[in-house]
Amino acid sequence: MELQPGREAVVRAAVATLWTSPEAVRPVDRPALASHSDIRAWISGMDSDQQVGDCVLSQLLLGERVLVTELRPDGWAHVVAVEQPAAKLDPRGYPGWLPVDQLLPADAARPAAGGTHLVVDATVSALHATPDGPVVLPGVILGTRLHAAGPARDGWRPVHAPGHADPLWLPEAHLARLPDAPPSATEVLAVAQRLRDVGYVWGGVSAYGIDCSGLVHLAWRRFGVQLPRDADDQAAATTPLPLGAERPGDLYFFARPGRKIHHIGIVTAEPRDDGARRMLHACYRQRRVIEEPLPAERTATLVGVHRV
């Protein structure tokens, strides 16, 4: 079974990077392009300027669905990431380019009906051939959705993984059931806080590197809630509140006068009587996820607080 334009596919890499174009890829990006991408090596091999280059659009996790719209003979596919809404770019989802080797036709990756819906709750995990056996797929990220392939055994759980005929295994403690009810904002905040000190990478959506809207998208994804990928779309998809009504887990949005929203943070404390505020965010300036009081220059561009 082969990929076909107009048909869905799923990501078979632990983390697949969505690119602006195949021509934009740099020599330093090689570890991110293999069928088993090595995102840790890719990020550690870049300098701070390369980590914020504009060739990366987003990242997709193992099993994430895409719509294939074009196939090139040089091994690239143009896709729409249907689980990452991006209304201003494409009503179907976030468009961009992926290596064909990181994709599998959706029909070939569909698990048997009736399996329990699970999600990776560890910051980073790995899929093993057998319980406590050899690693088959390292770098599986928080928020990755999987289907159970049977009951747990000796603290390990078998799961279906795209591209693997036999079940693979994760520590049962690294998995959680996807909840039936929406999470509380404080539950989502607690997940986001586990990503504190992760490095800032433009377009990143993983525990190896992440950007401001990726942090929000991934924290809610952990609970099965699909938020748009970019900050301005996240603002459009959430409910505005009066400034001063925010509570931990709500969202701060920032924009310069006359410009679109360019930054987002997660509220970590109720505002003080003197107007002081705190947030958790992937900070471009400090190049990592931090929790801090809003400095004056941030407060000057604060344009709204919203609730999911």
- Which pLDDT value is given to residue 279? 98
Instruction: Give the number of other Cβ atoms within 10 Å of residue 27's Cβ.
Output: 6
Burial of 271: CB neighbours in 10 Å, binned 0-12, 13-18, 19+: middle
Q: What percentage of the chain reaches a pLDDT higher than 90?
A: 94
Residues near 67 by beta carbon (within 8 Å), at least 6 away in sequence? 6, 7, 8, 9, 79, 80, 82, 92, 93
Residue range 271-289: mean pLDDT, rounded: 94
Longest dimension (CA), the chain: 62
Question: Could you give the C-alpha distances from 87 to 55, 138, 232, in angstroms and in order?
Answer: 20, 33, 10
pLDDT of residue 4: 95
List, for residues 27-54, the tens digit of each pLDDT value: 999 999 999 999 999 999 999 999 999 9
**What pLDDT, on the 0 to 100 scale, is given for residue 113?**
58
- Please check the confidence at residue 114 and state whether its pLDDT lies above 70: no
Residue 264 is inside which H or E element, if any? strand 263-267
Least Cα distance to 131 among 175, 167, 176 occurs for 167
Given a contact cutoff of 8 angstroms between Cβ atoms, the answer to whether 100 and 3 are in contact is yes
What is the average pLDDT value for the chain, to the nearest integer?
95
In contact, 70 and 90? CB cutoff 8 Å: no
Spatial separation of the C-alpha atoms in residues 228 and 85, rounded to whole Å = 4
The CA distances from residue 191 to 28, 30, 132, 305, in Å, are: 30, 30, 26, 20
Mean pLDDT of 88-110: 93
Mind listing the pLDDT tens digit for each residue in 178-198?
998 999 999 999 999 999 999
With cut-offs at 50, 70 and 90, classify the pLDDT of residue 109.
confident
User: If you ran DSSP here, which 8-state letter would residue 111 be given?
Assistant: P
Q: How far apart are CA 294 and CA 254, in angstroms?
A: 11
Q: Residue by residue, what is the 3-state secondary structure of 47-94?
A: CCCHHHCCCEEEEEECCCEEEEEEECCCCEEEEEECCCCECCCECCCE
Mean pLDDT of 246-253: 98
- Residue pLDDT, tens place only, 199-223: 999 999 999 999 999 999 999 999 9
pLDDT at residue 59 tops 90? yes
Query: What mean pLDDT comes out for the span 270-279?
Result: 91
